[in-house]
Structure 1
């Protein structure tokens, strides 16, 4: 699938790009696939993963966590940093293949490595830096180390850079920061920033080696690319219920960030955290438009945001979509008034549910982003089937922000152009 076979160590005037596949954790091709889990149990796990992920994201935003429920009723191993899409990446020379979670809200690529002080059980072979000719520790006085900010754990400037990542569910990853060669398909990426994690504990899955961070931070995969690779990426997430349907990610010149049929909206970058924000201006249901107004601005480590600028961020690791309480309940009220059937009590923590019938009609929902980017959502982007019910895949939170989850994103090619600072949506492209 990849369209390049090279080590990016030579000078070239040609812009380089490459493409590969993502695997949904519940699809047949995933190392996490469990044939004994039925559809209802999968939805239960989706809800729990979203709740845990929300807790983690709010910890990064330094916001109080009053929304999530206890995550113990179904699967005590659900992990807050988990994402729904896995990416195959090889580390080192010679390369060691690893399955790791794609996370566009993270700023580092890390996997478990030897020698372990403490490691969680892992079915894949752990990376051994002693057997890699391209592994090079980063010193504490190096810029790449200092860019980690509060996550640094250095003894003195001449020592090797150590990092400490602590997640919202109290899972942690401690290790050494180094430069290393990554391999994606047939493409070699030398001197990438890599977290060699040898002290980990918490709610990690044994089939997941670590995290592939694709956020806007200085040490993420997209930020550390060779100068011949444009800082762009795009992905198209497919529905896991389709079995072996593959999702696709394009990086560099291959990324689809604009086309005749795409819509675009400005990308709002704030540091920290290193999320990708866009601005949600209104939500429409049929012909009823609900403006996003009157949102009180909140502070994020020195940054202020709220309607109408940078009030929503896109996240591949969150399954459901979250809206501020006031926005959500106004949306829910309008939906109830438009849907002829009466809502029924939910059998899960989802809020608005109806009986699943062939004749059930759900109104079209449109998210209106800034600069006239109107994203029309299909029913599969807004509804989750569960135990004979059809439930709204959107939940309320008590903070003034919007989290756009991966169900809402499915079957759209979503492009991130970090150079021109825009996000594009191309419907039905997968």
Structure 2
């Protein structure tokens, strides 16, 4: 989600003795596979609408980035308190086999670069659409009684008042927020076995936030589903069922609407046997950084194979927890901290301007190029971006992952900058047609160039 929390609090006297109030934190390694289908919404945009969407995405990304930075600063003040507290574990549900199938829609038609996942909550189960976010831990839904809520597409869920004794407060960077009580509920999922049969499976005692006061621009969603590294995230709570890994593969935004992206919980043997699967290690944040984010350590940037002269300290996490690089599903474009961005931008401009004239009348993205003389985009020759990591891994991106077509005649670099010592972020646009594996057990990120529509 674009805002990610910068402040959260819960009562010190939460009643965690009952499973109805237990937060989930378990280290069981029972593994089966769960696969979620991610569905694109149809996009039919003219030049004016595309330009407007580009403005929206840039504003949303910048809001999110400011919030991520603020959260790290907040973590510095919370480090001592966290050390004194330890959240107990919830009773783990029994492991199940099969594949979990759900839908997730691209938010592009709503002016959003986020992805939305459909879930069934409660008994009997009711449908809700939640924003998927690897940069957040808290799962939450708008709940009745709703004292101050934003508009959503489905009626809010009814929470029983006698089950709510552990309050929480999450504040987001644009002053959006959610306040309510922790609760537990049954999440119903559809299982698909290897023979193609379908069945329903109920995950009981799933902990989530029941929000009674919620403000912000959540694009019609009912709440948020967090996939961060913290113990309360959806992925952490499912570890007893599907192990310590999940992956997704996002189809490119120009794909037909009948193809879908995938989200998979559990070990994916086909991915692990992929001939081009590469791994880089997750980096533990400094003492004052947040446990939510997935940090990776960049060594250098390549443009068409040429290593750029960027100071090494640009990529390091500082002693106060700022800086470093994260991979994030909720940020659309990719962002590199200065001076890296200026160096990258200049190198791309240097390599492209000799072939295609620079277009200077679009202030949102920079640089942009006039490619009106190219009749077939397949004949368009643009440089490719590569990232090398300190552990020796290399991630090479095709040109279509680093450039965005605003019209058939205008193409722009889909990379922007953040201030010096701030986060660098690999966003979801650059992750298209890569199968991305989050393996928290071995503390590593996997990536393999894949035609995601074929998964």
TM-score bucket of the superposed structures, by smaller chain = 0.7 to 0.9
Aligned to 1:194: 208
Does residue 289 of the first structure (1) align with residue 290 of the second (2)? no
Aligned to 1:172: 177
Aligned to 2:334: 321
Q: Per-residue deviation at 1:303? A: 5.5
Q: Per-residue deviation at 1:136? A: 8.2
Q: Aligned in 2, Cα 1:298/1:428: closer, same or farther, shift over 3 Å?
A: closer
Distance 1:204 1:298 in 2: 32
Q: Which stretches in structure 1 are left out of the alignment for 5+ residues?
A: 1-11, 64-77, 139-159
Aligned to 2:250: 237
Aligned to 1:425: 447
Does residue 380 of the first structure (1) align with residue 400 of the second (2)? yes
Q: Which stretches in structure 2 are left out of the alignment for 5+ residues?
A: 1-27, 75-109, 191-199
Aligned to 1:56: 67
380, 387, 393: which one aligns with 1:367: 387
Report how many residues are paired: 366
Aligned to 2:23: none
After superposition, residues 17-416 of structure 1 pair within 5 angstroms as: 17-24=33-40, 27-28=41-42, 38-62=49-73, 84-130=114-160, 137=163, 160-185=165-190, 186-205=200-219, 207-225=220-238, 227-244=240-257, 245-254=259-268, 258-259=272-273, 260-270=275-285, 272-290=290-308, 292-295=310-313, 304=321, 311-339=324-352, 340=354, 341-357=356-372, 358=374, 360-387=380-407, 388-400=409-421, 401-416=423-438
Greater helix fraction, Structure 1 or Structure 2: 2
Residues 4-37 of structure 1: CA distance to partner in whole angstroms, max 9, x if unpaired?
Answer: xxxxxxxx9962221112234xx13xxxx79898
Whether the 8 Å CA contact 2:245–2:437 is kept in 1: the answer is: yes
Residues 267-314 of structure 1: CA distance to partner in whole angstroms, max 9, x if unpaired?
Answer: 1243524100111111111232025534268877x76476xxxx2101
Whether the 8 Å CA contact 1:292–1:327 is kept in 2: the answer is: yes
Distance 1:366 1:297 in 2: 15
Residues 335-375 of structure 1: CA distance to partner in whole angstroms, max 9, x if unpaired?
Answer: 22222134220413212111023264211211112322211
Distance 1:365 1:184 in 2: 39
Distance 2:228 2:174 in 1: 20
Whether the 8 Å CA contact 2:299–2:312 is kept in 1: the answer is: no
Structural RMSD (CA): 2.8
TM-score by length of 1: 0.78
Q: Per-residue deviation at 1:226? A: 5.1
Aligned to 1:148: none
Residues 144-190 of structure 1: CA distance to partner in whole angstroms, max 9, x if unpaired?
Answer: xxxxxxxxxxxxxxxx1000000000001001101222223334222
Q: Aligned in 2, Cα 1:44/1:241: closer, same or farther, shift over 3 Å?
A: farther
Distance 2:367 2:393 in 1: 27
Distance 2:251 2:175 in 1: 31
- Greater shift, 91-100 or 344-353, is seen at 344-353
Whether the 8 Å CA contact 1:284–1:366 is kept in 2: the answer is: yes
Distance 1:61 1:353 in 2: 33
Whether the 8 Å CA contact 1:364–1:378 is kept in 2: the answer is: yes
Q: Per-residue deviation at 1:238? A: 1.5
Distance 2:44 2:441 in 1: 40
Distance 2:236 2:270 in 1: 18
Whether the 8 Å CA contact 2:55–2:364 is kept in 1: the answer is: no
Q: Aligned in 2, Cα 1:365/1:299: closer, same or farther, shift over 3 Å?
A: closer
